[in-house]
Homo-oligomer: A and B are copies of this chain.
């Protein structure tokens, strides 16, 4: 479909913009980067970028959705293969730990989005409601099938697993950002094994 004109097709250009925005936000945070800088990194004009994404908020939402889809895909893949939602959560955390700048941005955004007027509030509300609902259903099914030993309320257990994931990420950045990310996933695995023993 190339016209030979030197312009990348729309979808490829969008992916390039998202990749550069991810890199830039990961380095300097959402507020620390301008649309102009992301456009320059892509070798296009500010107007050229705004043709694909109407605003920096629009770009942020596209990036959040892309990251959520990647997380979901990895989670579901590991869950299908291993039958373990615990291994699936650890796999997602391990993948995200490889990009600490982005993970730091997500940790900050989720907390900022507590405010109902925040542009990402509805996104985070929906994502947290969905992952909690799905995880609770998976845990309840495992209890019915006898593959999960603990009889703890799956509603509370799902909340606890998600809380461990988020709370350990926050501590990783606040206490010891230079530590090996393996320590965080090790701690997560140890906590999971205690919870489901």
Contact = CB atoms under 8 A, between A and B. Distances in A.
Interface of A: 29, 104, 107-108, 110-115, 124-125, 128-129, 132, 150, 152-153, 156-157, 159-160, 162-168, 170-171, 173-175, 186-187, 190-191, 194-195, 197
Given A112-B111, A194-B150, A167 B163 contact: yes
A113 B104 CA distance: 10
Give the top 9 A-B pairs by smallest Cβ distance, nearest first.
Answer: A163-B167, A111-B111, A167-B167, A166-B167, A160-B191, A114-B173, A156-B187, A163-B168, A128-B174
Nearest to A112: B108
13 contacts: A110-B170, A111-B112, A114-B170, A152-B194, A156-B186, A157-B194, A159-B168, A159-B171, A160-B187, A162-B171, A164-B167, A167-B167, A195-B195
Contacts of A162: 167, 171
A124 B159 contact: no
A187 B159 CA distance: 8
A113 B112 CA distance: 12
What number of copies of this chain does the assembly contain?
2
Contact of A163 (B112, B124, B153, B171): B171
Contacts of A173: 114
B190 A111 contact: no
Contact of A110 (B111, B187, B190): B111
Given A125-B175, A163-B164, A163-B167, 14 more contacts: A104-B115, A110-B170, A112-B112, A128-B175, A132-B175, A150-B194, A156-B187, A157-B191, A157-B194, A159-B187, A160-B190, A163-B163, A163-B168, A195-B195
Contacts of A160: 164, 168, 187, 190-191, 194
